[in-house]
Structure formats: C-alpha cells, structure tokens
Amino acid sequence: MDGSDRETEVLVVGFGPVGGTIANLLGRYGVRTLAIDAATEIFPQPRAIALDNEALRILQAAGLPEGAFETIAIPEVRYLSPYVGQLARLETGGCLDGHPKLVTFYQPELESELRSRVREYPSVSVELGVELVDFVEETNGVRARLRHRDGAEQTVLAKYLVGADGAKSHVRKALGVGFDGRSYAEDWLIVDAKRDSSSLDHIEFLCDPSRPAPHMPAPGGRERWEFMLHPGESAEEMERPEKVRELLSPWGSPDDMDVERTAVYRFHARTVERFQKGRAFLAGDAAHITPPFAGQGLVAGLRDAMNLCWKLTWVLRGRAAPGILGSYDQERRPHAKAMIGLARLLGRIIMPTSRAQALATGVLMRSLRLIPPARSYLEELKIKPQNEFDRGLFVERRRRGLRRRPAQPRTQLTRGAMFPQAWIQRGSDGCWSDDALGHGLALVGFGIDPERHLGQSAAAFRAAGGTCILLCHRGQRIHRGEGEHVWEDISGAFIPGVAPVGWAAVVRPDRTILHDGPVTEAARLVGEALALLGAEDAQPGRSEEMGPVSYTHLRAHETVLVISYAVFCLK
C-alpha cells in the first residue's frame, strides 16, 4: 500500500455474520462500502447456532434465497427437570412471516454464503487481514487509519463508520461509550460433535443442578452440548478428551461421535449506553451481548443491520435528513435490552444451583402450566419481546383519552411494529410480499390502488425511493387495478387478516410500519411520512392511537412478572 487516502461512504469494521449482512444490505442499495476484518479466513468452527423467523427474513432482504445455507427447523423446545419432569415446552414449529419460527444452522456456512453474495455488488469492497488502528470524526465524515498484515498503513475517509467487530470491539472502546451489564459467575463448556445415528429433532434444556446442559441438533449431523462448570473446575480440565467423553456418554457411545470443537466460555449480558456517537455506529456484539439461553445473540445483530442500513442509505442519497439516524439507538437499544432480559430469565430456570431450588422451580413452572393464560404465554412464545417500538421513526399514534376519528376501522397494523409477510400472486407468478415491496419505501393499498389517490405527492414519493403496491383479496374484480404493482393475496393473510379493503400503510425498507390510514388519504399519509424523514430534529414520540390495553396483553404482562419475580426469589 502507498498510504494514500481512500474514500468510501461507509466503512464497516468486522466481517462476521453481522458485518457481512450489513455489507450485503448496503450493496443492494449501491452504497460505496469498504468492509474490513483483521482475520483472513472465516472462523472454521460454529459459534452461533440458532436463528428465528425475523433473522431469516432479514437474510432474505440481504439477498439470501431460501436454501442458501442449510438449516434444521426446530418443532419444540423442552425444559426438563430430573425431579418433576417437563417444566415447560415452547411450540416453535410452523412458520411466521414466511419462515420457520426457529432453526439451527452452521455458522461457517452462513458466513461463506454472505461473503459469496457480496461479490455481486460492485459498490462493496472487502479487505481481509486489515485492522482498524484508530479514527477521528471530522466535519463531513470519519478519517480512519488502517493497518495491513504487512505493516503498511492507509487512511480511509468515510462518511460513516459501523463497528461490527464483536464483543471486544475496538470501535466501541475508541468511542468511549459505557458497556453496562454483568458477567455470569459460571463458565460453560461448549461441545460440538458429529454423529450419524442421532434422531434428535428438538432442543432440550436439562435443568439439573448437578450439571445444567442445553442440547440441540444442527445441520450436517451435528449436535451441540453446553455444560456448566462447577466451582474449582478449570477450562483445561474440562476440555480433556477423557472428560468430554464422560460428559457425552449419557447420549450414546462417544466412539460414535466426532468432536469438532470444545471451548470454555463465560456468558455476558451487556448493552452499550448508546448505539451511535456522531458518525460512528455499533452493531451486533459490539453493541450488546446476549446470554445464549434465548438463542437471540446473532438475531439481535441482524436486527441492528436491517434497522441501520436503509437509514444510512437514505441520508447518503439525500432522501432523508441526518437527524433520522438518531432513531437507530432509540429503536434498537430498548429491544436489545428486552431480549437480554428474556435470556436472563430463561437462564434462571435453566441453571438451578441446588436440589431445593430445582425442585421449587419445577413446582412453580408446573403450576403455571395449569393456568391457561400463563401456559399460552410460555408455549406460544408470547414471552418473546416483539420487535415493536414505543418511540422512533414513525408517525405518532393517538394517545389514550383522545377521541378517535369517526368510522375508523380496526386493523392489525401498529405503527412502529413489523409489517407482516405472506405469499402473493400475480397471474401464474408468485413471491413473498417482501420481494414485491422491494428495497425502498412502499405505499401498500388494501383492495384499492393507492396510486390513484396520491395526486401531486406521487413524484415526491418516488424521489424519496417510494413505490406503490396494491394487494387484492382473492378473486377481487371491483377496484382492481392493472399493472405490475398489483398482487393477489391468495391466503387472506392481508385482507382481511391485516386490514380491510380501503386501508393503506406506508412501510419502511426494514418493514416497519411508518404510517397508516384510509387509502383515500394516501397523499396525506405520504406527505406526513416524508415530512418525518426530512425533519432535522424529528422526535416522534409514543403512540397517539394506542387505545385501551387488551385483557390478553394485561394477563401476559402479569404472567411474565409473576414468573420473573418467583424464579428470582428462588435464586
């Protein structure tokens, strides 16, 4: 390298699965991106192992088609006690928004696919064996100093910098932001092994105080075990082959298992005090570390990528004001903390420290299963925090106590929540609705073409990266428009499942609902949405159309409080 300055729009530090997803998303938008990583090769052994439907939907948006990497759909998760039997069962079978609710995967294969896909984007450059030395923020960007493996240094001028460089993030340390939380006192031994004869099709958590142990299948005939270390047990002792064989023996002959990896980890539960500082952003483990008990560590990082990339693109292309970038922290940090809270709660159930505590937890959990709302809350995954924002980049909803507009129909749309995905059809062609919505803003009309009601706002909407989509109900003929933007909802998932005929929604590129209302007021909806994107210091607040909290929501909230408090007391 000759040390000369190089310019790019976004510098991504870290090229693991989160950094790779960020590079692919930015590449789809044509953003000039430089992604670097100190390592020259993909780490050859699995680390993350679980993804949910939201993660798979994000990878779909990043350009990975179904089947791009191998997965195993998990129909259920069982929590087992040696004293009372099954403590709880989570129903994870079936699909949500077009994807399985829970899968396991092989991380090196996913990373390889992300790296392969990113080569399709001429705007993205990847340089491996390159580390970030330091960086400073300037008026119009970030000046970063990079060092190559041969010792040569280079300066990169980027409009924005994204640190996706893991739990020991150099970017986070350089920004000087706090990393609040706690580390668990216990170490865990991770064992990944392959065998040909396994019939395990679910995830099981053995909540045994003598040795708590999660166990799960993975693609390629792989299985993973995690064993909690007792006080006084060392990593060196636990990783000895004879000890590993002893631990695996309850599940079959160790001679039939090919151990690929053993490693001792200490789990952490931490979140940075802010996801953004000036022109620098943190994503993935650089911003938050989630204990593995909920399988949400990598998923949270992928949510970061989806939330941030379109906002950077819209600002760089002049479609939105830089002020919208503040909504990244506003939206992502509370949800990441909520997921960490869920993981910590599940950890308390999984890790009883004594026989008495295990027995008491077992009695409590079995008793809660006798209460229908509590059982439904646990088994149907309602305990999982929804990716829905109280504050952020969406048009405010009506506050409680304010009069609703007359004849306002009820819908399943919530501003600040996710727009659903379903299979739609046009003639003999079918696709998932996200693919029809495209990569920009979308104005979705339910049963009536929203483009007919845009008027003079149509040009401004197109200039802001917007497109119109008409979703017709099955067999619709009246009010049905013509053109490539017209699709039929063949399953009824959208009409009447989400909204009635005559409604419309403005959907962000990350599939968050930005605004909604009558389709006849499409010009107003688009105008208010674009005004929000263009406001330098937009401070969209809490919902202004929240209405009364439902009984189901109250019961679920009370249930999780009871579970959390009771299990905490048992500690």
Element (H, E) at 53: helix 53-61
Digit-coded pLDDT (tens) for 30-59: 999 999 999 999 988 778 999 999 999 999
CB-based contacts of 160, cutoff 8 Å, min separation 6: 9, 10, 11, 141, 142, 279, 280, 281, 312, 316
First to last CA, the chain: 57
Q: CA–CA distance from 82 to each of 79, 86, 214 (Å)?
A: 10, 9, 14
Length of the chain: 571
Neighbours of 536 (CB within 10 A): 8
pLDDT at 1: 45
Asked if 532 and 319 count as a contact pair (C-beta separation under 8 A), the reply is no
- Backbone phi, then psi, for 385, in 5-degree steps? -60, 130
307: which 2 tokens?
A: 């939330």
pLDDT given for residue 407 in this prediction: 57
Cα-Cα-Cα-Cα dihedral sign, residues 124, 128, 130, 134: positive
Closest by alpha carbon to 265, among 222, 224, 219, 206?
Answer: 224
Whether 370 and 88 have beta carbons less than 8 Å apart is answered as no
One-letter amino acid at 305 equals: A
User: pTM of this prediction?
Assistant: 0.91
| Predicted pLDDT at 538 | 30
Q: What is the pLDDT of residue 191?
A: 96
> What is the chain's Cα-based Rg?
25
Closest to 306 measured CA to CA, from 3, 40, 8, 55: 55
Phi, psi (rounded to 5 degrees) for 344:
-65, -40
The β-bridge partners of 147 are: 131, 153
Q: Do the Cβ atoms of 238 and 174 come closer than 8 Å?
A: no
pLDDT per residue as tens, the chain (571 positions): 455 689 999 999 999 999 999 999 999 999 999 999 999 999 887 789 999 999 999 999 999 999 999 999 999 999 999 999 999 999 999 999 999 999 999 999 999 999 999 999 999 999 999 999 999 999 999 999 999 999 999 999 999 999 999 999 999 999 999 998 988 878 999 999 999 877 899 999 999 999 999 999 999 999 999 999 999 999 999 999 999 999 999 999 999 999 999 999 999 999 999 999 999 999 999 999 999 888 899 999 999 999 999 999 999 999 999 999 999 999 999 999 999 999 998 888 888 888 998 999 888 888 888 898 888 888 888 889 999 999 999 998 764 444 445 556 789 999 999 999 999 999 889 999 999 999 999 999 999 999 999 999 999 999 999 999 999 998 888 878 788 899 999 999 999 999 999 999 999 999 999 999 999 999 999 999 999 999 433 333 333 333 333 323 333 444 444 454 444 444 5
Q: Which neighbouring-strand residues pair with 109?
A: none
Q: Pairing relation of β-strands 288-289 and 258-272?
A: antiparallel
Q: Which residue in this structure is represented by tokens 């690929």?
A: 260
Give the pLDDT of residue 405.
Answer: 55
- DSSP conformation letters of 358-369: HHHHHHHHHHHT
